[in-house]
Every structure is written in C-alpha cells, then in structure tokens.
Amino acid sequence: MRASLDRIAAIVIKEFRHLGRDPRALLAVVITPVIQLLLFAYAISFDVDHVPTIVVDLDRTTQSRDYLRLYEGSTFFTVVSEADTMDAVDQAFDLNQAHLAIVIEAGFGRQLASGGTGQVAVLVDGSEPTSARISQAYTVAANQLYNQQLTRQWAQAQGLDLSSLGGLEPRVRTWYNPERRSSDFLIPGLMVVIIAIVTVQQTAVTLVRERDLGTEEQLDVSPLRKVELMVAKLLPWTAIAFLDVAVIICLGQWLFDVPLRGDIGALAVGSALFVFAALGLGLLVSAIAPTTDTANILALLIAFLPSFLLSGLAFALDQIPVVLQWLSYAFPARYMVTISRVVFLKGGGFAEVWPELLALAGYATVMILVSSALHGRRARR
C-alpha cells in the first residue's frame, strides 16, 4: 500500500511540475471558467420583459385610449410606435422593430357603449417561440383584466353590488425561486457544464501527450500499475477543478446573488465525485484517441453537447424524447445538475441527493477502470 501511494505521489509531483512549466496553460484553466461563466450568465436568459409593441388604433375614441393604457402602463410591454395601417405592422415585424401588435378595429368604442363586443386583434411574432408564448399569455391576462373593469363599470351603472357575488381567488406562489430569475436557474447548472468542458478537455490529451513526448514506454516498463497511473493523472486536475468550482460559486453569489441554501458538504462531495467522473471520461478519450487533435475534438463533443442538452440545464429532461432521456444517464452532468439545483435552490442535503451521489461514484469508478483497461490493452500491442 505504501509503495502504491509513493508511485502515485511521484506521478502527481511530475504532473504539477509539468503544469508549473506551462503557466499559460495553467492560467487558461483557471481563467477560462470565469470568462465562460460571465458570458453564459449574461448571454443566456429566459426572462421576457419590455416586449416591443406596435399599436394600430383605428377607432381613436376614449374607450380605445383607455384600453391601450393597459399596455402602456405595464413593464412587460413597451409601445415603440403607433401606426394607422396594417402595412406598418408587417414592416415592424420584418425589421424586428416590434414582436407584438395590438390592432383596435373601428367602432370599438361604439360597441362597448351599446353593450356589444369590441373587436381587438393581437398579432404575435412567432419567430421566437418563448417570447411569443409568454406575450400571448400576458395579453390574455391583460384582456381579462380589462373585461373585469368593464363588468364593474356596467354593474355600477345598473346600481348593482358585485361584492355580494361569490368567486374564485387563486393564490399562486412560486417556491425556491419566487422572482423566477433566470440567473438562479442557470448558474448552478452552468457551473456543471463549465467544469465538464474544462476537465474532460484537459485530461483527454494527458495520455496522448505522453505518447507524443515518447514517455509512454517509460511508464509502461515502470512498476506503476495502470490504475495507479490513472489516479495519479486525475489528482492534479481534481485540485484545479475544485478551485474552479469555488471561484464559480463565489462569483455566482457575489455578482448574481444566487442563493446557496442547502448543505455545502453535500455540494462538495457531489462536486468531487463529478470531477472524478468527468476526468475519468477524459481519460477514456485519451486512452482511445490516436492523436492530440482527435482527443480534443472528441472531448469537445462529449463534454459540451451532452452536458448542455442532456443535463437538464436548458431543457427539462421529462420534456425531451424518451430515447434521449435514457441516453442522458450516460453522462455525469445529468446527476450533478440535479445535485447543484437541489442544494443551491431547494436547500437540500445528503438525504435528498444520495441517489445522484451513488450514481456519480459508480460512474467515476467504471470510467477509471475502463480507461485503465483500454490503456493497458493499447500498451501491449
């Protein structure tokens, strides 16, 4: 056991010396996650607000102006222009100057005054589905509010007291992220994707580099076992990845006020297991890739796309096709995104995330053993 630890320590020291001789690469590994976090966090947002709106008031009565004040007084809509024809709406949509159009037909005020139904057209630019869907929902809510106002005015004119009527009063509350901020939702997941990219990318070339430098044969004839070599290759990058995790957590809380409500110990254990799993995945790539370029391409494909698309970061996993749901279990980011959000937002700990912790531990063990076997088979050829 002591001899095994000594052999692992010797390789770890060698790896740190190698990193020390290339400070630019070391700086890139530490700084790149910070830059990626800032870019992703500021660039990706699911918040929809201040939707540019064009209004076409063909009625121009007191009633039509009262109706338009619903939109002008809301922070969700921003009236960017008023027009007299539908051609102006087409032009505004084509030039992306507006994403919503409110068209009040002529006779709107007369219909309301006579107890009839006023006609209003709401046109939504569907080229951006998320914005279109939310805009439609807000517009429906605004029109329901206006209808309630008309009902109250009619009742007062008839001398009726609507307060004696029964009704339904829904009280909707959003838990864990009451303000529904995108940053609270995204940053715990972004941390996972960024760490996956950095760790897989760096370890994917570590064995290939030994091959390119001609030192692989020296390692093969040394007393070092394959598993010891894999563990020794992982430890330096584990320490650096942990530094990246700490920096990202601090920036998330400092710059974006992301809450950290749960057990930090559970997050630390989950991060360690995830880093080992991601590094093991990188070693697997390094064991089978023939060249450095191939290793870099494979690492980017394996680390970025599945981590972004199949982890639950951007899309709910229960909303994607069943085949992709099963495929997502093959990538460690799925488990870590769940751990991260439970700890950050829901205040969870070991009791809530132990299945994901076990999955990551098993994943890391399998990756290290498989990469050791593949590297050993390649060395015997």
For residue 380, the model assigns a pLDDT of 62
| Domain co-membership, 20 together with 57 | no
| Domain co-membership, 255 together with 365 | yes
How far apart CA 198 and CA 176 sit, in angstroms, is 29
Any domain includes 191: yes
The distance between the two most distant Cα atoms of the chain, rounded to a whole number of Å, is 99
| Domain co-membership, 92 together with 73 | yes
| Domain co-membership, 110 together with 209 | no
For residue 170, the model assigns a pLDDT of 73
Task: Tell me the pTM.
Answer: 0.76
Residue 291, C-beta contacts closer than 8 angstroms, at least 6 positions apart: 208
The boundaries of the domain holding residue 6 are 1-45+181-379
Mean predicted lDDT score pLDDT of the chain: 82
| Domain co-membership, 206 together with 131 | no
Q: What is the CA radius of gyration of the chain?
A: 29
Any domain includes 176: no
Residue 56, SS3? strand
Give the dihedral sign, CA 42/43/49/53: positive
Any domain includes 221: yes
Any domain includes 139: yes
- DSSP state, residue 123: E
Any domain includes 174: no
For residue 216, the model assigns a pLDDT of 65
Give the dihedral sign, CA 213/215/217/220: negative
For residue 265, the model assigns a pLDDT of 92
| Domain co-membership, 186 together with 298 | yes
Any domain includes 344: yes
Q: Which residues of the chain have pLDDT under 70?
A: 1, 162-167, 206-208, 210-221, 375-381
Residue at a domain's end among 95, 124, 158: 158
Tokens of 323: 């085949």
| Domain co-membership, 103 together with 208 | no
Tokens of 81: 């222009």
| Domain co-membership, 97 together with 205 | no
Write out pLDDT tens, residues 48-85. 778 899 999 988 888 889 888 888 888 888 999 888 88
Residue 313 backbone phi and psi in degrees, to 5 = -60, -55
| Domain co-membership, 70 together with 130 | yes
How far apart CA 260 and CA 184 sit, in angstroms, is 10
Which of 329, 332, 346, 190 minimizes the C-alpha distance to 270? 332
| Domain co-membership, 6 together with 134 | no
| Domain co-membership, 86 together with 234 | no
Any domain includes 135: yes
Number of other residues whose CB lies within 10 A of the CB of residue 91: 14
CATH number, position 94: 3.40.1710.10
| Domain co-membership, 338 together with 255 | yes
Task: With beta carbons less than 8 A apart as the criterion, state whether 46 and 130 touch.
Answer: yes
Q: How many domains does the chain have?
A: 2
Any domain includes 169: no
What would the 3-class secondary structure string for 76-119 be? Answer: CEEEEEEECCHHHHHHHHHCCCCCEEEEECCCHHHHHHCCCCCC
Write out pLDDT tens, residues 267-278. 999 998 998 888
Number of other residues whose CB lies within 10 A of the CB of residue 355: 11
Long-range pairs of 344-347 with CB within 8 A, sequence gap ≥ 24: 344/184, 344/187, 344/188, 344/258, 344/259, 344/260, 344/261, 344/262, 344/267, 345/176, 345/177, 345/184, 345/185, 345/188, 345/259, 345/261, 346/176, 346/261, 346/262, 347/261, 347/262
